[in-house]
Amino acid sequence: MTTESITLPPRSEIPAEQTWDLHSVFATNDDWDAAGKTLLEKLPLLAAFKGRFAEGPQTLLEYVRLFQETAELIGKIGTYASNEYSVDTNNQAAGGRAGQARSLMARFAAAVSFANPELMSIGFDTLRQWMQQTPELAFLAHYFDQLERRQAHVRSGEVEEVLALTGDPFGGPYAIYSAINSADLTFRPAKAADGTSMDVGQSSIGSLVTHPDRDVRRTGWESYNDSYLAFKNTYTATLTAAVKQDVFNARTRRYESSLHAALGPNNIPVEVFHNLLNVFQKNLPTWHRYWQLRKKVLGYDQFHVYDIKAPLSTAKPVVPFEQAVDWICEGMAPLGDDYVRTLRYGCTEGRWVDRACNLGKREGAFSSGSHGTQPFIMMSYANDVFSLSTLAHELGHSMHSYYSHKNQPFIYGRYTLFAAEVASNFNQAMVRDYLFRTQTDANFQIALIEEAMSNYHRYFFIMPTLARFELEMHQRAERGAPLSADILIGLMADLFQEGYGSEVVFDRERIGITWAQFVHMYMNFYVYAYATGISGAHALSHGILAGKPGAVDKYLGFLKAGGSQYPLDALKVAGVDLLSPEPVESAFAVLAGLVDRLESLLVK
């Protein structure tokens, strides 16, 4: 029996070409420090506008210009600090800078907290007159409309300042979660059937649960969940604090509930959320059929959660990073040369992507950046179809940011989370369609369907289940009901038991701790947007692939719109109405079709 061990390298041993070019934001840490000092010098200048807006449109224009300039600077400061820490949470200096950046953001928010109440006091009729008198202010039309829609939830200048100052201490639960999750949490190694030890970490768990060796999958999955269970009380404390902060913010801003507070500012009716959950529950039998098919093909007497991503073919395709970039560019070709050329540059000499697997790298994958920076993608690339799809997903976010920042002023450069998951899933749908048409080998086709089902499993099974959990948690907090580790684990387990049905062996404690593994739970009602996003993405990609006239230009227009429109309006212009449950129903039909296609291939 071998005693071989496979370990993750420290960050210091990672080649530069596998990392992002963070120094494109600030060349050195000294430059970052200098930017922080510049920011602090600008804050009194912003605060000095308090009480002056009534002087007229020119004063307001001066403020807006200084605000956008300063906001872009704080965006760069935050991007540099948070990204540096994300890829190496063992770096104490980077952790310190990330904390400093959060404090600076809170001070900036406090310095400008007077603005919205003061604009409201002037009156929207007057503000619209100013836009006509001063064309340079005309771009604020949507901003004023947003402010008018939520004026019942904007408090006095003094209260707004206090709420802004809570931003730093209220970041505590997220910061504590991130530190435990990425730096302090340790895992016992996974064990292969031949005795090989494999490091379990946030950057390796994805490759372990898709490993062909069932012992690797089982021991990796058990190790991962057991480490979370060992800290279940700590994770409960951090998440409960975050949920109570959501309730505090909702009540302070006079919203009916935390759900209304999360969706209302973006003009999204809560019916969109509830429609999704209703359609999800109605379509659970599709998932039950998929578990049955997997169990049969794998030949197992018992089917476990760690078998959900077990490869169904012995010939697992190897997809190097460079090949993934080529295929993604070819899949996105319908969007035109500018899109593809920019995407390829970002993946190569632009060094947008931090793809290394190293110790201390945080879990999952994300795209980040701000006005004045290039996009940044963090992931742990594992040379397989799953990593290819993750890269396509994050590039969807990054290209959305690229076009948004390029075409919008700062105040509209950041699109909503609701719209974000459309662009990311759109890329996956386009690339998947291209590969289905061009990579006709049966084993590759099976691997593609497995990846697609894995993607759907995350976004159309895990995320809606977490959304149901999140709703129940907030409702309990709103009525003052207790929230303990055992209660949260029990609630999560009950929801997953309904989802997995009788086909999956149910390890109640390990499955019940799933909520602790998602940083998304610290982003007030975000997880549901993955399911609405994949629904919108499939509808829009279908139109483009079918050659629908104007579909490409409309989609690119959606990317360029950023936050200059309400997300439901921007998507409707692009060609999909997410106020209706129909796109979600259609996406579940795509899911059912994938199960049919997989069954046909496996029978052959």
**What's the residue count for the chain?**
604
- Which tokens hold the place of 461? 């099974």
| Sign of the CA dihedral running 66, 72, 426, 459 | negative
Q: Can you give the pLDDT at residue 6? A: 61
Q: Can you give the pLDDT at residue 604? A: 60
Sheet with 366-368: strands ordered across:
353-354, 376-378, 366-368
Q: Which position has the token pair 């945080």?
A: 362
Q: How many CA atoms lie within 13 A of 452 on its CB side?
A: 28
d(CA 448, CA 312): 11
d(CA 402, CA 373): 9
The pLDDT of 6-20, averaged and rounded, is 90
3-state DSSP of 343-361: HHHHHCCCCCEECCCCCCC
Would you give the distance in Å from CA 453 to the centre of its chain? 19
The mean predicted confidence, pLDDT, of the chain is 93
d(CA 270, CA 272): 5
Helices (H), strands (E): how many in the chain? 27, 6
Q: Can you give the pLDDT at residue 2? A: 41
Q: Is the pLDDT of residue 3 over 50?
A: no
- Which tokens hold the place of 202? 């946030």
Q: 338-357: per-residue pLDDT in tens?
A: 999 999 999 999 999 999 99
> Residue 362 — pLDDT band, cuts 50, 70, 90?
confident
Q: Is the pLDDT of residue 1 over 60?
A: no
Q: Can you give the pLDDT at residue 161? A: 85
- Which tokens hold the place of 188? 């016992």
Domains of the chain: 12-167 (1.20.140.70)
Q: Provide φ and ψ at 353, rounded to 5°.
A: -105, 125
> Residue 294 — pLDDT band, cuts 50, 70, 90?
very high
Average the pLDDT over each of 179-183, 246-250, 404-408 and give the range with the smallest value: 179-183
Catalytic residues: 394
C-alpha angle 71-77-78 in degrees, rounded to nearest 5: 90
Nearest by Cα to 474 from 280, 259, 166 = 259
Q: Is the pLDDT of residue 554 over 50?
A: yes
The pLDDT of 281-294, averaged and rounded, is 94
d(CA 459, CA 463): 5
Q: Can you give the pLDDT at residue 568? A: 95
> Residue 5 — pLDDT band, cuts 50, 70, 90?
low
